[in-house]
Amino acid sequence: MRNDLTFCLPAPAGSAPVEWRVSDGRVGYEAAVAFMQARAAAIAAGHEAELVWLLEHPPLYTAGTSAKPAELIEARFPVFESGRGGQMTYHGPGQRVAYVMLDLRRRGPDVRRFVASLEEWIIRTLEAFNVRGERREDRIGVWVWRPDKGDGFEDKIAAIGIRVTQWVTLHGIAINVDPDLTHFSGIVPCGVSEQRYGVTSLADLGIPVSLPEVDMVLRREFERLFGPTGYAVASTENTSPGARSLSSVSAPSR
């Protein structure tokens, strides 16, 4: 296991553990965003602990701050303006979404390092399932080589898109575990349209794993990079406080 400190963003000694939540049901996108906004405001004010929230969404498309109208090919599912960095993406059943709400004032106000650490988190998680995920300088997310499809072919297996508000992070990552990959055909995923670049999942690569198995590895690797986590809460679907209007910036993903 790599221990490169470039990717470690632990909280200062004595800080409370990051709260770790997993929602069993599918969470609506607007409710999730409202919850994140309110929680980020509470973290910035020092009233709540940092949080990682694992969930699934029903099928939907989200448009980041760099999305272009032409990237929506067919609105097969609801489309939401997300406020995160990046372009068009898909969320749906079989995809593990992890929303990450961390206080970068305490961990280090370096957005690039935070994004690199999210990439490393995904890469280490995939390694546990014998999948080699890689970064690309010219493309967002984590990619895998697909020599079975042809020379130079690669598929995206995980997406990253974040927003930073008062140095508290929102949104996060999405790993394709076993989603319906045909659902991606309604958009140009993350603006990448070349034929040799596609989308894949663990199941598509012949690795049948469950979301709880992925969650277990995500938590282990998160703690190695970001520090301890606290108890898991079963669900947040019906506990979302009202959304607040916040001053924020969208950070383009690497």
Tokens matching residue 182: 């045909």
Separation between Cα atoms, residue 52 and residue 232, nearest integer Å: 10
Separation between Cα atoms, residue 190 and residue 63, nearest integer Å: 9
What distance, in Å, lies between the first and last C-alpha atoms of the chain? 23
Q: Looking at this protein, which amino acid is placed at residue 78?
A: P
**Helix, strand, coil distribution of the chain in percent, nearest 5:** 25, 30, 45
Q: Looking at this protein, which amino acid is placed at residue 235?
A: S
Residue 131 CB-density burial (10 A; 0-12 exposed, 13-18 middle, 19+ buried): middle
Active-site annotation holder among 116, 190, 192, 251: 190
In the annotation, is 190 catalytic? yes
70 and 77 Cβ atoms separated by less than 8 Å: no
Q: Residue 200: left (phi > 0), alpha (psi -120 to 50), or beta? A: beta
Name the residue with tokens 């020092």.
46
Partnered with residue 134 across adjacent β-strands are: 143
Active centre residues (catalytic): 190
